[in-house]
Amino acid sequence: MRERKQKRILEVSSSSSESQDYDSSYSDPDYVAGTSYQRSSRKNFNINPCINNPNQATEFGSSRRNSGVVATRRRRILRRRPGASNKSNRGVFSKKRTILSWMIDLGIIFEGMRVWYIRDKEKIIEGTIKRDGVRCNCCHKVITVYGFEEHANEGHVKEPYAHIYLVDWGCHLLGWIYYKGLLRPEELARCGFNLVEPQKDASDLNDDACMICADGGDLICCEKCPSTFHPDCMGMKKIPQGEWLCPFCICKFCGTGGPGDLHECKQCQRRYHLDCINSPRQPSSPDSPTKFCGKSCEEVFSEIQEKHLGVRKELADGYTWSLVQMKLDRDPHSNGEILHEITIGNSKVSVAWTVMEEIFMPVIDRYTGINITQSVIYNRESNLRRVNFRGFYTAILERNDEFISVASIRVHGTKFAEMPFIGTRERFRGRRMLQKLLAQIESALRMLNVENLVIPSVPELVPMWINKYGFTHIESNLMTELIKYNTLMFPSAVRLHKSLVTHAAASAVTKTDEANKNGTGLVRGKGFEKLAFFDLNLEPPKEDDDA
């Protein structure tokens, strides 16, 4: 047990064009944070995970408890960027966000570039690049890249970027996206590993914040890893004597750290002994004994990878939604369909990050300087578990290839999923866009047999979530489970959850699934008409027809 002290920042040098050295009174000099991207045959890229304008950062850290006195908190949690009402920002907020516009903004393609749709080395149709699609020469209309493929009578292929040919540069659009867009040093740096190392002269090697609430104060330290916890957050009535191991350093089944090696589940990230998983009470697939802690986690992972990840799902009125995740490496033996899926999925993650930058002020961890929002979107791993964001997916709502709403999701087995970030672009607010995306997210989670959706709420909005939208405070039995997992939390925020297995919810999702199967899209009747507005920064719109 030890008490953390307030410490000044350690200034970290930067080699990234995105970064800028700065000083702040909110960091921990015991640690040096950096990021590195490791890929075979490529150089590591080390960057400072700080932001361009430190005055606009949203910092979260700890209160300091000394002799029972709680110091004044200085936090600005999940602030929203100035909206379109700010004249200087109108151009940024009015821009269409598509993969093509992302490439145009990077300067790797240009509006007006000639393109062909090629199939079997034969030119089928011609057009020119625009920010929001391709201007087809046959109808002189700007259509989506998928619409351009349909004009070529190749709509069944569903790989437009692999068949659109950049005439002036003599290459296909898919390869140009990969080599010129995704392999840029700045992009590789965002995909990096959040390496957090103690300074050479550091006397304390443990984290400064509680794994459960992300706050500081009197913390109990794990003997095997840097993780720290408040005894109250762990539900401890007294401080354990002798060696104490945290939930992440013990087997989830037998509750001990030994004997034998511990393996980490690929889905829920809990650890386990092979002997425990092979016991009759914990059946597991014999084909993957060291990847998953049990059949349920294996099924959740397989379902996401095979039926949801990278799949462009069509809804009514031209809307689509997809679930993507940054994948750093690709198998050189993968077929063209897989390469198209990975490259476009990675590109969507990059565009989703520009949307999150537009919506939210940067959320910076005060101890490490890590950009939390960016790390979540790029599902970046770390050696410090509290800032290890492996396993996050990005859900995206689009219309005609234009990004509208974005959410971050991580599934912790079948017990619960967390959603720390969700937002809609300024120009689409007040049109029920979050409800459209949320309806699909909840439907997908129910298909995975996930029981609860957990969010962090701003304290002032807790009564609204409870009274208007059916959320409740975390129940004791769910909290007992939640403290065993690595979840993202913000100091002074309040955890709420929504059950996904109620009778009414099950009825609603059945209607939605049937509607989607029939091609009619989202259900607007009872069940989804007044879904909770999952924007943690703004008061929800009035419940009228335009909400």
pLDDT digits (tens, 9 = 90+) for 407-456: 999 999 999 999 999 889 999 988 989 889 988 999 999 999 999 999 99
Residue 466 within any structural domain of the chain: yes
| CA 240 remoteness from chain centre | 35
Domain boundary among 173, 189, 205: 189
- The answer to whether residues 336 and 481 belong to one domain is yes
Q: Write the pLDDT tens digit of every residue in 34-64.
A: 544 333 322 222 222 222 222 334 444 433 3
Q: Is the Cβ–Cβ distance between 272 and 293 less than 8 Å?
A: yes
Q: Which helix (H) or strand (E) holds 515?
A: helix 503-517
Any idea what the CATH number is for the domain that residue 428 is in?
3.40.630.30
Point out which residues pair with 421 in neighbouring strands: 408
Domain extent, residue 312, equals: 296-499
Q: Write the pLDDT tens digit of every residue in 318-351.
A: 899 999 999 876 554 456 678 888 999 999 999 9
Task: Tell me what pLDDT residue 344 has.
Answer: 94
Residue 227 within any structural domain of the chain: no
Write phi, then psi, for 269 (nearest 5 degrees). 65, 15
Task: Count CB atoms within 10 A of the CB of residue 162.
Answer: 20
Q: What is the mean pLDDT of the chain?
A: 75
pLDDT > 70 fraction of the chain, expressed in percent and rounded:
69
Token pair in block for residue 255: 């509750």
Q: Write the pLDDT tens digit of every residue in 110-168.
A: 999 999 999 888 999 999 999 989 999 988 999 999 999 998 887 677 889 999 999 99
Count of domains in the chain? 2
Residue 154 within any structural domain of the chain: yes
Domain boundary among 174, 189, 204: 189
- The answer to whether residues 304 and 429 belong to one domain is yes
Please state, in angstroms and rounded to a whole number, the distance separating the CA atoms of residues 479 and 475: 6
Output Rg (C-alpha) for the chain, integer angstroms: 24
- The answer to whether residues 184 and 307 belong to one domain is no
Write phi, then psi, for 74 (nearest 5 degrees). -125, 90
Q: Does 25 score more than 90 pLDDT? A: no
Question: 22 to each of 57, 327, 354, 373, 417, how far by Cα in Å?
Answer: 12, 31, 23, 19, 36
Task: Tell me what pLDDT residue 58 has.
Answer: 42
CB proximity list for 257: less than 8 A, separation 6 or greater: 224, 245, 249, 250, 251
Please state, in angstroms and rounded to a whole number, the distance separating the CA atoms of residues 134 and 148: 7
Question: 20 to each of 37, 66, 193, 434, 541, how far by Cα in Å?
Answer: 19, 34, 19, 34, 37
Domain boundary among 132, 164, 189: 189
Task: Count CB atoms within 10 A of the CB of residue 173.
Answer: 25
Residue 262 within any structural domain of the chain: no
Task: Tell me what pLDDT residue 15 has.
Answer: 25
Residue 406 within any structural domain of the chain: yes
| Higher pLDDT among residues 411 and 6, named by residue | 411
Please state, in angstroms and rounded to a whole number, the distance separating the CA atoms of residues 72 and 62: 10
Amino acid identity for residue 426 in this structure: E
Residue 9 within any structural domain of the chain: no
Strands (DSSP E) found in 199-328 = 218-221, 228-229, 262-264, 271-273, 313-314, 319-324
Residue 390 within any structural domain of the chain: yes
Please state, in angstroms and rounded to a whole number, the distance separating the CA atoms of residues 342 and 432: 30
Residue 391 within any structural domain of the chain: yes
